[in-house]
Amino acid sequence: MKIVLDGMGGDNAPFEIVKGAVEASKETEYQICIVGKEDQIKAELENYKYDPEKIKIVHAEEVITNEDSPVKAIKRKKESSMVKGLTMVKEGEGDLFVSAGNTGALVVGSRMILGRINGIDRPALASIYPVLGEKACLLVDAGASSEAKPHNLLEYGTMGSIYVEKVLGRPQPKVGLVNLGVEEGKGTTVTKAAFKQLSQAPINFIGNVEAREVPAGACDVIVCDGFVGNVILKLTEGLAWSILKLLKKKFLDGLKAKIGALFLKDKLGELKNEFDYSEYGGAPILGVEGPVVKMHGSSNAKAVKNTILKGIPYAQEGVVDIIKNAITDLEEIIASEQ
């Protein structure tokens, strides 16, 4: 198996990317192939001890930046590390593509270069969602599409369930649909129809979940359209940040508070770590003809290492093929609804 890594994607490329690759390489038998500007990557690699048989470089002249428009970038920057990396997976020269680059371009590129799995209408971006003090869960769709039809939500739930089972190693993952209330009749025309379709899918669908229950770990797979997914992820980030900021302010307000905060220093550090969910790995793109994992743009070496290592089962367990095999069931459900 060969892992293809976008050497130029993200805020800290290539420095942290290369460092993370070297660290990952010590913990896996597989070869890691870093795609990007050869001179820069070579220069970074010289700072480390590594097995040259296990880390290779593939030169790519161009870089897709966060400012690039996704579709244009994929169409025009043929020599970019992202396009070249995806093409390697497409052509069987790699088994997994990992990138910290432009999210939109990675989603579009996966769809255009690898192609949609036949029968999947909308590939999705799935994101790890933190459940404080517990196992994280998977949110699908995290924003690959802003709107969704009922059968898209059915696809999201099914693909998410397969991923959580095979990659996160959690059997019979609980799949929940974000909705206004737990009762079946609740929600929009889309969520009502999606509830019916998800109920018939060969997954452990637990029904509607209210947003209130999501941070407490109501389910392993959170299903929602990309707009709502974006709101859930960003609001969580913003609110956690606001609360931590307020805590800090309160805990520095007066001598008594400062003494207390000193005693609690370790615990406050732990609290911050609860929101560092890089240890769970990156965000897979589901529904395309090859395993692709997105990592956060600001990933450091540790996050790069974790994303690579935790992403391996996406390729190794044949998740793409399992999704393909599930299509027939989904098509029957969708047909029976129309």
Using CB under 8 A, list all residues that contact a copy of itself: 132-133, 143, 146-147, 178, 180, 187-189, 191, 210-216, 226-228, 230-243, 245-247, 249-251, 253, 256-257, 259-264, 266-267, 270-271, 274
Residue closer to a copy of itself by CB (options 14, 176) is: 176
How far is Cα 56 from Cα 42, in angstroms, rounded to an integer?
A: 10
What does 7-60 look like in DSSP terms, one character per residue? Answer: TT-STTTTHHHHHHHHHHHTT-SSEEEEEE-HHHHHHHHTTS---TTTEEEEE-
Q: How far is the CB of 163 from a copy of itself (least distance, A)?
A: 23
How far is Cα 333 from Cα 297, in angstroms, rounded to an integer?
A: 37
For the chain, the residue count is 338
Residue closer to a copy of itself by CB (options 143, 311) is: 143
Residue closer to a copy of itself by CB (options 12, 179) is: 179
Cα 169 from chain centroid? 16
Residue closer to a copy of itself by CB (options 26, 250) is: 250
Q: How far is the CB of 271 from a copy of itself (least distance, A)?
A: 6
Q: How far is the CB of 169 from a copy of itself (least distance, A)?
A: 24
Residue closer to a copy of itself by CB (options 262, 335) is: 262
Phi-psi group of 133: left, alpha or beta (phi > 0 → left; psi -120 to 50 → alpha; rest → beta): left
Cα 20 from chain centroid? 17
Residue closer to a copy of itself by CB (options 189, 338) is: 189
Q: How far is the CB of 274 from a copy of itself (least distance, A)?
A: 7
**Buried-exposed string 113-142: b where 16+ CB fall within 10 A, e elsewhere:** bbeebeebebbbbbbbbbbeeeebbbbbbb
Residue with tokens 């976008």: 6
Q: How far is the CB of 201 from a copy of itself (least distance, A)?
A: 22
Q: How far is the CB of 304 from a copy of itself (least distance, A)?
A: 23
